[in-house]
């Protein structure tokens, strides 16, 4: 992938951009095999590749510059704004939106926030696109003082960009590098963006997490579904479930499934999908995954975990070791913490592992790992 911003030294987010893509995959696979070297792996499946550009469904733009000439992108270490509208990771469809948002900011009188002076209102723009064509736009503001101006100006923007199905304002009053605050204010009647992977309806709300590489995410969910379908299970937990992508793919009319996620917005999305699919034995709840699991006196046959970068941690590992579900399906965006967790689950055999290149041109990737309860001391 060629990137003029990288060549000019303006952006170094894609640390591995100069490395040929096959080499990127080889290096990631080697790192993963190294991290799991102390455990025998039953089957290594080949890495799932990504498109090398235009794959991201989300842009997180710092807004700087002036109200008349806003700049969308990031602020470099020396305080200089860098325009990232032409970043080749974004799909072509983002360009028209960025182009129209610049005059819109002047129309709405949304002064970009100045980090040094601690003045201004508009901090970030967050744009998400569904593979179904709709978009969600969030304005991250310092306060509600310009909210009415934003509301008054919106009809023009909506007329120009009818693909903006969901629009909201997030209030982030703290002078820190925090992307969003707790308060979300709806600016359109609909606050749910419809998505669809592998014929499974999924939904995205403003404050719910969703994978940023739809093609690879769809492959990841489909692979989990295929692996689970091969197991003799009819009960499972989907912990750290987000909007329910894994559980909804794995669910069948016979599967008793409970999905747990601390983010209530994500759970509302998962519940909407389950209802649409008519899954009567599937339930989702907004709870802490570790607290939910460790308070239960029995476990299902399969526990699926998709934790944040920190992993599932010592407490949940100890509980799973004690309760010993037949299978654990572990999806991770941080192979180092996953390897640490797997080391704690010594009674389990590593049955199958596959790398999913969710983040090309960086050292990051996603992993799916199937663990099977060993018959004696972790040996099948």
Q: Confirm if 6 and 16 have CB atoms less than 8 A apart.
A: no
328-378: pLDDT as tens digits: 999 999 999 999 999 999 999 999 999 999 999 999 999 999 999 997 544
* Chain centre distance of CA 76: 24
What is the rounded average pLDDT of the residues 292-321?
Answer: 97
15-39: pLDDT as tens digits: 999 999 999 999 999 999 999 999 9
37-66: pLDDT as tens digits: 999 999 999 999 999 999 999 999 999 999
* pLDDT of res. 50: 98
* pLDDT of res. 376: 52
Query: Residue 147: is its pLDDT beyond 70?
Result: yes
Mean pLDDT over all residues of the chain? Answer: 96
DSSP string, 225-286: HHHHHTSS-SEEEEET-TTSHHHHHH--TT-EEEEEES-HHHHHHHHHHHHHHT-TTEEEEE
Taking the C-alpha atoms of residue 8 and residue 2, their distance in angstroms, rounded to an integer, is 11
- What is the pTM (predicted TM-score) of this model? 0.95
170-186: pLDDT as tens digits: 999 998 778 899 999 99
* pLDDT of res. 177: 77
* pLDDT of res. 103: 97
- Catalytic residues, by residue number, are 333
Q: At what angle do helices 21-35 and 335-344 cross, to 10 degrees?
A: 20
Query: Residue 96: is its pLDDT beyond 60?
Result: yes
* pLDDT of res. 175: 86
Query: Residue 254: is its pLDDT beyond 80?
Result: yes
Query: Residue 109: is its pLDDT beyond 50?
Result: yes
Give the C-alpha distances (Å, rounded to integers) separating 116 from 10, 121, 122, 125. 20, 13, 14, 19
């Amino acid at each position: 992938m060629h990137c003029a911003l990288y060549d000019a030294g303006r952006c170094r987010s894609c640390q591995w951009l100069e490395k040929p893509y096959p080499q990127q995959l080889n290096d990631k696979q080697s790192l993963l095999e190294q991290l799991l070297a102390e455990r025998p792996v039953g089957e290594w499946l080949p890495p799932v590749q990504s498109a090398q550009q235009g794959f991201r469904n989300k842009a997180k733009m710092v807004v700087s510059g002036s109200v008349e000439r806003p700049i969308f992108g990031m602020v470099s270490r020396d305080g200089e704004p860098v325009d990232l509208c032409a970043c080749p990771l974004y799909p072509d469809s983002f360009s028209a939106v960025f182009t129209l948002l610049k005059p819109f900011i002047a129309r709405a009188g949304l002064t970009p926030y100045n980090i040094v002076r601690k003045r201004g209102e508009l901090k970030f723009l967050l744009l998400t696109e569904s593979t179904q064509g709709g978009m969600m736009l969030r304005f991250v503001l310092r306060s509600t003082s310009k909210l009415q101006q934003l509301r008054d100006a919106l009809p023009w923007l909506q007329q120009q960009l009818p693909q903006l199905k969901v629009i909201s304002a997030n209030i982030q009053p703290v002078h820190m590098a925090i992307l969003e605050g707790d308060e979300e204010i709806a600016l359109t009647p609909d606050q749910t963006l419809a998505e669809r992977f592998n014929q499974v309806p999924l939904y995205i709300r403003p404050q719910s997490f969703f994978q940023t590489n739809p093609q690879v995410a769809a492959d990841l969910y489909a692979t989990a579904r295929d692996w689970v379908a091969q197991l003799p299970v009819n009960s499972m937990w989907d912990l750290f479930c987000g909007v329910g992508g894994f559980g909804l793919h794995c669910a069948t009319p016979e599967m008793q499934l409970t999905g747990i996620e601390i983010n209530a917005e994500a759970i509302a999305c998962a519940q909407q999908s389950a209802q649409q699919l008519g899954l009567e034995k599937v339930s989702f709840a907004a709870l802490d995954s570790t607290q939910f699991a460790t308070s239960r006196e029995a476990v299902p046959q399969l526990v699926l975990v998709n934790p944040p970068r920190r992993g599932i941690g010592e407490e949940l590992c100890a509980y799973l070791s004690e309760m010993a579900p037949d299978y654990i399906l572990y999806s991770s965006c941080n192979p180092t913490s996953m390897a640490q967790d797997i080391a704690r689950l010594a009674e389990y055999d590593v049955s199958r592992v596959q790398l999913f290149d969710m983040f090309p041109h960086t050292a990051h990737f996603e992993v799916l790992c199937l663990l099977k309860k060993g018959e004696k001391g972790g040996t099948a």
